[in-house]
Amino acid sequence: MTFDLSERVQTVPPSGIRRFFEIAEERDDVISLGVGEPDFATPWAARDAAITSLEQGRTSYTANRGKRELREAIADYVADRFGLGYDPDEEIIVTAGASEAVDLAFRAFVDPGDTVAIAQPSYISYEPGVIFAGGEVRSVPTKEEDDFRLTVEGLEEAGADEADMLVLCYPNNPTGAIMTADDLEPIAEFAREHDLTVLSDEIYAELTYDGHEHTSIASFEGMRERTIVFNGFSKAHAMTGLRLGYALGPAEAIHAMNKIHQYTMLSAPTTAQHAALEALDSCENDVREMVNQYDRRRQFVLSRFREIGMDVFEAKGAFYCFPEVPEGFTAEEFAEAVLHEQGVAVVPGDVFGAGGEGHLRISYATGLEDLREALARIEAFVEEHA
C-alpha cells in the first residue's frame, strides 16, 4: 500500500539545498561554502555551564516558556542591545531553536486561506511553514539594485497590501543584506497602514559589519503590538546543535504560541537553556571576536569576487554574500558545474525564493585557508569558462 500522506506535506517540494548536500557528500575533496552555520564551537564558558548543569543533574523539564532566569536575561539583553522592552513573564517564550518559534507563529496566527507575504530571497523554512499551517504564500522579491533591501514599491508590486502577514529576515540569509532604521521606517508605515502582522526573524542581529548596528522593526512606533521578533543562540553564539531560540511579542500572541508549544514541545532543551544563560552572562567578548573574524572573511571574500570579475553587492550582515553568476550560466548550472569540476559547494540563489535567481549564496562561516582555496578554484573555473 502507499502511505496516505497529507496534502500539505505533498504540496511542499523537496528542498533544493538537500540536492546539493547529497552531491557534495559523495566526494571527500569538497570545500564547502554552502554551510549555513558557524564554524566556531560554542564559547567554552557556555559549554562549561552546560556540562556543569548536567553534572548537577539538572535534566528535568523547565517551565513551558523557559527558565525564568533565562527569560529575564533575554529581556535584559534585547533591551540593552536593541532597545526592545519585553516582559519576561508574559512576552517571551524560549523555544527549540528559532525554527520552532517560527513554526509556532505560523500555526498560532495563520488560518486556512490567509495570505503571508514573504520578503525573498530568504531562509527556506518560511514557505513550507506557511503551507503546513494552511496559509498561502505571496513572494515579495527584493532586488540587487536595492542591495536586496525590501522596499515599499516591492511590497506594492507583489500585492502585499492584501496580505495578512509579512515575514522579514534582516540581516538576511541568503543575501547578507541588512535594513537600516531608515530602510525600515517606510516598511513599518506600510505594515501599519495595511494592518499587517509582522514576523521579523532577527537571528543574525549580532552579525552586522562596517559600523552598522541592528535595528529591530519592533522598535518603531505602533509596531510592537503587531510584531513577533525571533532570535536565538545558533548564529551569534555558535550554538546551532544545542537548539535554542526565542520569540518576543505582545502577551496575547506569545500566549497563543505557548499554547501550541506546551503540547508539542513542553519545554526547550534544558541543558541548552543553561548554556544560553551563561552565553548571555559572560560571552559578549566571544561574540565580538567571532564577529571580528567574520568581518575579515567578509572583506576577503568580497575582494576576491571582485578580483575574479564576478559582480557582488556589499553584503553587510550575517555570514553570507550573494555574487551574480557570470553570463552563460543559470545559478543552478554554475553551482553544479563548479561542484563537479572544482569541488566547491555553493548554493544557487533560487532555492531561497523569488529574486535569488542568477546568484549564489556564499557562506564565509569557514576558515580563511579554505576560503582562499575555494576562491582560487572558483577563479580557475571562471577563467576556464570565460
Ligand X SMILES: Cc1ncc(COP(=O)(O)O)c(C=O)c1O
Interface ranges with another protein (CB under 8 A) = 15, 17, 20-21, 24-25, 30, 32, 34-37, 39, 41, 123-125, 173, 296-297, 299-300, 303-304, 345, 347, 368, 372
Q: Which of 64, 240, 262, 299 binds ligand X (CB under 6 A)?
A: 240
232 binds, among another protein, ligand X, none (CB under 5 to 8 A by kind): ligand X
**Cβ-based nearer residue to ligand X, 66 or 342:** 66
Task: Name every residue whose Cβ is closer than 8 Å to that of residue 202 and which is 6 or more positions away in sequence.
Answer: 82, 169, 170, 171, 214, 216, 229, 230, 231
**233 touches 207 (CB < 8 A):** no
Return d(Cα 276, Cα 278) in angstroms, integer: 5
**Cβ-based nearer residue to another protein, 148 or 294:** 294
317 sits near ligand X (criterion: CB under 6 A): no
Using omega within 30 degrees of 0 as the cis cutoff, is the peptide bond preceding 174 cis?
yes
Kindly state the cell numbers that stand for 105.
Answer: 507563529
- Mapped onto helix, strand or coil, the DSSP state of residue 324 is strand
Return d(Cα 177, Cα 162) in angstroms, integer: 25
Q: Which of 201, 206, 278, 350 binds ligand X (CB under 6 A)?
A: 201
142 sits near ligand X (criterion: CB under 6 A): no
17 binds, among ligand X, another protein, none (CB under 5 to 8 A by kind): another protein
245 sits near ligand X (criterion: CB under 6 A): yes
Q: Identify which range of 92-100, 151-159, 212-220, 330-338 contacts ligand X by CB under 6 A.
A: 92-100
- The closest alpha carbon to 198, from 173, 222, 165, belongs to 165
Minimum gap (Å) between residue 97 Cβ and ligand X = 3
Minimum gap (Å) between residue 31 Cβ and another protein = 9
**Can you tell me which residue has the cell 564558558?**
45
Spell out, one character per residue from 213 to 232, where the chain touches ligand X: x when CB under 6 A holds, - when not. -------------------x
**Cβ-based nearer residue to ligand X, 97 or 349:** 97
Minimum gap (Å) between residue 275 Cβ and ligand X = 13
Minimum gap (Å) between residue 1 Cβ and another protein = 33
- The closest alpha carbon to 346, from 3, 20, 2, belongs to 20
Q: Exposed, middle or buried by CB within 10 Å (0-12, 13-18, 19+), for 14?
A: exposed
**Cβ-based nearer residue to ligand X, 305 or 352:** 352
Return d(Cα 260, Cα 171) in angstroms, integer: 28
271 sits near ligand X (criterion: CB under 6 A): no
**97 touches 231 (CB < 8 A):** no
Q: Identify which range of 91-99, 154-162, 207-215, 297-305 contacts ligand X by CB under 6 A.
A: 91-99
123 sits near ligand X (criterion: CB under 6 A): yes
254 binds, among ligand X, another protein, none (CB under 5 to 8 A by kind): none
Centroid of chain to Cα 11: 23
**Cβ-based nearer residue to another protein, 37 or 281:** 37
296 binds, among ligand X, another protein, none (CB under 5 to 8 A by kind): another protein
Render 205-237 in DSSP notation, one character per residue.
Answer: TT-B-TT-----GGGSTTTGGGEEEEEESTTTT
Using omega within 30 degrees of 0 as the cis cutoff, is the peptide bond preceding 171 cis?
yes
User: Could you list the residues that contact ligand X (CB under 6 A)?
Assistant: 36, 97-99, 123, 169, 173, 201, 203, 232, 234, 240, 245
